[in-house]
Structure 1
């Protein structure tokens, strides 16, 4: 049996990082149902402390997710999960973005949006650029 999965990134600011990655990938931030959140609080299943406001909307403080515009059948969702500790070492896993566009233009766009250039990579005929997102998570662009 094959499993479905999502990719989860630990971070300090999940909503802001979800926005950044959604823009970087041209994906969509999953909406959070404000009515459902309020209902969970009213029923005692959650507290106000578990929520925050982002872009004027009530959302769960602990996370945000993005998905491909064609849905989960096209690609797994990315979940950005709030954690208290900062990132301190290199990721053991990262995303590789394969562009159909001019790679250097994509790199320039991501750097202009807050990514940090780390290095150029090469293995045989394959080349890529390694960047870090605004919270330091590595990604490669090829």
Structure 2
């Protein structure tokens, strides 16, 4: 048996606005809305599908899986741009020479951004 990753799916109480937010960040497009209960993005900077599924209540606590996104530009400028677009800064971090910034999207889902250089 061979498995392939079909999509990364994020639980949310309101899929369409958060899907639109991420579509704008990645330069992707919404390719399916399924009456607003399962919204899927493709294209732009995504390697495959990113979906947002409507749930009655968000899972409490920290994400067990999160997105790691890369910027080809200045890391601090990318983080500031994400914050200006509605993300919340959690912490700037580093391990040796590698640095990244942890943020949350407008619905509180944690993600990290790092420089691709």
- Please report how far the alpha carbon of residue 69 of structure 1 lies from its aligned counterpart in structure 2 after TM superposition: 3.4
- Please report how far the alpha carbon of residue 75 of structure 1 lies from its aligned counterpart in structure 2 after TM superposition: 1.2
Match of 1:67 in 2: 42
Higher relative contact order, chain-length normalized (CA < 8 Å, sep 6+): 1
Structure 2's unaligned 5+ residue stretches are: none
8 A contact 2:39–2:52 mirrored in 1: yes
Question: d(CA) in 2 for partners of 1:96 and 1:104?
Answer: 15
Question: d(CA) in 2 for partners of 1:8 and 1:27?
Answer: 15
Give 3-state SS (helix, strand or coil) of 2:71's partner: coil
Match of 1:136 in 2: 108
Give 3-state SS (helix, strand or coil) of 1:60's partner: helix
Question: d(CA) in 1 for partners of 2:36 and 2:30?
Answer: 15
Are 2:95 and 1:94 equivalent residues in the alignment?
no
- Please report how far the alpha carbon of residue 132 of structure 1 lies from its aligned counterpart in structure 2 after TM superposition: 0.2
Please report the TM-score for the alignment, with normalisation by the length of structure 1.
0.73
Q: Deviations over 1:20-78 (max 9, x none)?
A: 0011122112155xxxxxxxxxxxxxxxxxxxxxxxxxx612121111238xxx71201
Q: Deviations over 1:70-118 (max 9, x none)?
A: 8xxx712011000011342110110111111111121111111110000
Greater Rg, structure 1 or structure 2? 1
What is the RMSD of the two structures over their aligned residues, measured on CA atoms?
1.7
Looking at secondary structure, tell me which structure has more strand per residue. Answer: 2
- Show structure 1 runs of 4+ deviating over 3 A: none
